Amino acid sequence: SRYYREVLPGEIVKISRHDVQTLDVVRRREGDPSAFCIFEYVYFARPDSIFEGQMVYSVRRRCGQQLAIEAPVEADLVSTVPESATPAALGYAQKCGLPYVEVLCKNRYVGRTFIQPNMRLRQLGVAKKFGVLADNFKGKRVVIIDDSIVRGNTISPIIKLLRESGAKEVHIRVASPPIRFPCYMGINIPTKEELIANRPEFHDLANYIGADSVVYLSVEGLVSSVQESIKARQDNNPKTPKSFIGKLGHCTACLTGDYPVELEW
């Protein structure tokens, strides 16, 4: 029988035809908590993945609920750009007491937008990538939940599409904080100059992308959404070492610039 479990942070695993062996676990410096990438929860991982004993889908839903507490808005319905932010949108809608309604459907016949050779083609690609379910939102105030806005190119044509199809207002709520810093841990994040959060346009982002308002989840809100159930489990487990209490490790470097290791140049 096969047994699946998470690979621990710093663990080196050898998989062969015969078995799975742990070769080593590279420890953090004494007293330092591990620094699991918080963006795995926000964006990279599949929603059915289990990290640190919790399902990614559940964390994303909690991020949406937290976003509703931090950034409510007068609106008629909540939706998303299919489909990575759906759990967050459902959490937001549930917390606000607004209906979750689909406003876009994916066109299955269009290639990936990010590999288009230039910006204009990328934006055209986005518009063709989705069909508009106009009857669901005509004349209504729409909240769109996105999981992250990195460059700002993708959301702009979508907002335009919704307005042209009859949306009365389009409010953007982002279920993660703005990415401001490069990742040196192996995740390919665009250069600092490309990140919308570091550009002058960020100071009037709503106007730049054509939305009525834009609000991101706070770093504290994201961290609490990720750590809530881990903390509860730790607190209820008599085997949790005293030194571990309150020392949950998540890397937020791309959001805060606070790197988990000294950078050597």
Lowest mean pLDDT segment, chosen from 58-72, 90-104, 179-193: 179-193
C-beta atoms surrounding 249 within 10 Å? 16
Q: How many CA atoms lie within 13 A of 123 on its CB side?
A: 12
User: Which pLDDT band holds residue 10 (cuts at 50, 70, 90)?
Assistant: confident
Distance between CA atoms of residues 173 and 217, nearest Å = 8
What are the residue ranges spanned by the domains of the chain?
A: 1-232+241-264
Q: Are 166 and 139 in contact (CB under 8 A)?
A: yes
Distance between CA atoms of residues 148 and 179, nearest Å = 8
Residue 192 to residues 104, 196, 220, Cα–Cα distance (Å): 31, 9, 22
- The predicted model scores a pTM of 0.87
Chain position carrying tokens 């470097």: 253
Chain position carrying tokens 């699991």: 36
Amino acid, res. 220: E
Give the tens place of pLDDT for each residue, 28-79. 787 788 889 999 999 999 999 999 889 999 999 999 999 999 999 999 999 9
pLDDT of amino acid 141: 98
Strand partners, 143: 78, 171
Amino acid, res. 141: R
Distance between CA atoms of residues 183 and 251, nearest Å = 10
pLDDT of amino acid 115: 46
**Range 1-232+241-264 has CATH code 3.40.50.2020:** yes
Distance between CA atoms of residues 27 and 45, nearest Å = 24
